[in-house]
Structure 1
Amino acid sequence: MDSLRPLLTSYAYNILGSYEEAKDVVQDVMLEMINRTGADIQNQKAYLTRSVINRAINARNRLQKMQAAYPGNWLPEPVATETADAGLNQQDILSYSLMVLLEKLDAKQRAVFILKEAFSYEHEEIAEVLDISIENSRKILSRARKELQNVTVNENVKTPTEYLDRYMDVIRSRDIKKLEQLLSRDIVLVSDGGGKAAAALNPLIGVESASLFLAGIFNKFYHDRHFEYGQVNHHPAIFYFENEQLVNCQIFEFRDGLIHRVYQMRNPDKLAALAEQRNKAI
């Protein structure tokens, strides 16, 4: 049964957007199965998969209610994907940019979209797992695709390390004009501080706003800090440390060689989980 934990955790994480919550969901379902008496389960994998996915949907509904009172922007809990982690199947983890887009969907839409697009479930299988009709599964997927403007789960394209090298060279130079040349015209920068760390309360849109913000925080807080490159949900990332503690994770989405999105994780709770995961994987 333990061999199924990484796959089940991947299902739960993609639905929830929280690795810590996903691990709890899987653990609870497994404990309940161990404690079951007098029940003959013919297909253990199918039973666990169904239980985890539905438990994750319920947990996601609760999480969305909590997010309504969240200070500032809520971003998914990042998962390090540059190193091996026995706790989940990394190839099944969705890209960070897609995880952010999935925040537009309700829990059931999110589950149907993920099962169909990421795990190639047929509608008959989705209907059985979620206890809905096949027609309802099709309708939910159609609404989800419309909400996401028909985005699909694409194969992750590895970004060359030189892209981050170039970014760091330019931002250290304090040349705003050169920094602007690295950014796409419609760049969006989103910060998550969780009310526990300084972060922009609203997304920053456009070259001028994003460049001034990135240059400003680097020159004020990070110019003399230790940093490392890594991968978060298959996106290139920069990890900044203060006294060996992870204090900022910047996640980059590149498009046509330019920085298209920057997601800045400052929430210390999410950073602590990310740091622990990276340390275990090293």
Structure 2
Amino acid sequence: MSEEFLAHRRMLLGMAYRLLGTLYDAEDVLQEAYLRWTRADRSEVAEPRRYLTRVVARLAVDALRARQARREDYIGTWLPEPLRTGDHQQSLIDTEDLSMAMLHLMERLTPPQRAVYVLRNAFELPYAEIAGILDRTEDDCRQLHRRAAAALAGRARFSTDPAEHARLLEGFVAAARTGDVERLEALLHEDVVAWNDGGGKVRTGPNPIRGRAKVVRFFTAVMRRHDPSTTRTGVNGGAALLVEANYRYTMCLCVVDGKIHDLFRVANPAKLSTFDAQGSY
């Protein structure tokens, strides 16, 4: 792989992952981008970083559109792929502002909205450059960004304190193990939702579990039936647990107003590749 491409690979992979939400799809995009790079007339490429950014962004938007078109074939709830991270590990990509909650929220955006939002907010590109990358006008890109920001307005209430997430997550699991309903209810937001992604490969339930009472019943039953082991880990720069029961899954939170607003459980084996080895991406 050429040195010029390698010099920008981490940035490009981070962009593709933010746009697509899975490492597998992001790697596919980078492979195609590299093939195009090898075929490009380098004498006409004044700025490799800008050229590669344009190629990867366009490929990712195309891939996102194709995936959304076939999303109806996905079994159960689709969640982004969690990336294993931790203080003692080197992440494959920068995970700042890359929580599962944020990636999940971005699924409500259209592909062009998501592209503009990521390029503007995560990579701080000027609208003129974004317009050139996406073959749109600057005014169009500004409008797309306004709509994306409005759709993501709820993120302002998210807590990003890792210590708070860890405390709530471990308190939740401990209370579920003992069947302490009162304690569980105190930890959960009244509008709590548990999202479960098994991808049709693991039976996690086809639909989100909504409401405090239903979430309490579900998790106390799961803990009583399977008595899982849990290990502290990191997902996308935040606190998480790796759970081993009758199947393996990661669990992390979205916290609003000091309480658990969303629980994200990813059990689809295809999305747990960064947890397969002792090392981390």
Q: TM-score, normalised by structure 1?
A: 0.89
Contact 1:252 1:263 in 2 (8 A): yes
- Could you tell me how far 1:154 is from its partner in structure 2? 7.9
Q: 1:195 to 1:56 in 2, by over 3 A?
A: same
- Which whole-Å CA distance do the structure 1 matches of 2:175 and 2:125 have between them? 45
Cα deviation digits, residues 10-59 of structure 1 (max 9, x gap) = 00000011111101211221232123356431111111111111111111
Q: 1:281 to 1:149 in 2, by over 3 A?
A: closer
Match of 1:98 in 2: 102
Cα deviation digits, residues 57-86 of structure 1 (max 9, x gap) = 111111111212111111111112225345
Q: Which runs of 5+ in 2 are unaligned?
A: none
Q: Which moved more, 1:163-172 or 1:229-238?
A: 163-172
Contact 1:159 1:254 in 2 (8 A): no
Q: 1:155 to 1:42 in 2, by over 3 A?
A: farther
Does residue 117 in structure 1 map to residue 121 in structure 2? Answer: yes
- Which whole-Å CA distance do the structure 2 matches of 1:150 and 1:259 have between them? 15
Match of 1:259 in 2: 260
Does residue 162 in structure 1 map to residue 167 in structure 2? Answer: yes
One-letter amino acid of the counterpart of residue 235, structure 1: G
Contact 2:99 2:238 in 1 (8 A): yes
Match of 1:274 in 2: 274
Match of 2:147 in 1: 143
- State the SS of the aligned residue for 1:191: strand
Q: 1:38 to 1:4 in 2, by over 3 A?
A: closer
- Which whole-Å CA distance do the structure 2 matches of 1:180 and 1:155 have between them? 19
Match of 1:50 in 2: 54
After the TM superposition, list the runs of 4 or more consecutive aligned residues in structure 1 that deviate by more than 6 angstroms.
Answer: none
Does residue 72 in structure 1 map to residue 96 in structure 2? Answer: no
Q: 1:67 to 1:87 in 2, by over 3 A?
A: same
Contact 2:26 2:60 in 1 (8 A): yes
Which of 220, 228, 231 is equivalent to 2:231?
228
Count of aligned pairs between the two proteins: 275
Cα deviation digits, residues 240-281 of structure 1 (max 9, x gap) = 1259xx71111112233321110111212112x2323x6332
Cα deviation digits, residues 176-214 of structure 1 (max 9, x gap) = 222111111111111111111111211111110111111
- Which whole-Å CA distance do the structure 2 matches of 1:184 and 1:267 have between them? 26
- Which whole-Å CA distance do the structure 1 matches of 2:218 and 2:10 have between them? 38
| Aligned-pair Cα RMSD in Å | 2.3
One-letter amino acid of the counterpart of residue 89, structure 1: D
Q: TM-score, normalised by structure 2?
A: 0.89
One-letter amino acid of the counterpart of residue 280, structure 2: A
- Could you tell me how far 1:135 is from its partner in structure 2? 0.7
- Which whole-Å CA distance do the structure 1 matches of 2:143 and 2:278 have between them? 43
- Could you tell me how far 1:235 is from its partner in structure 2? 3.1
Sequence identity of aligned pairs in percent?
A: 28
- Which whole-Å CA distance do the structure 2 matches of 1:176 and 1:103 have between them? 32
Query: Which structure is richer in relative contact order (CA contacts within 8 A, separation 6 or more)?
Result: 2
How does 1:187-266 map onto structure 2 within 5 Å?
187-221=192-226, 223=227, 225-241=228-244, 247-266=248-267
- Which whole-Å CA distance do the structure 1 matches of 2:13 and 2:175 have between them? 39
One-letter amino acid of the counterpart of residue 169, structure 1: A
- Which whole-Å CA distance do the structure 1 matches of 2:154 and 2:170 have between them? 33
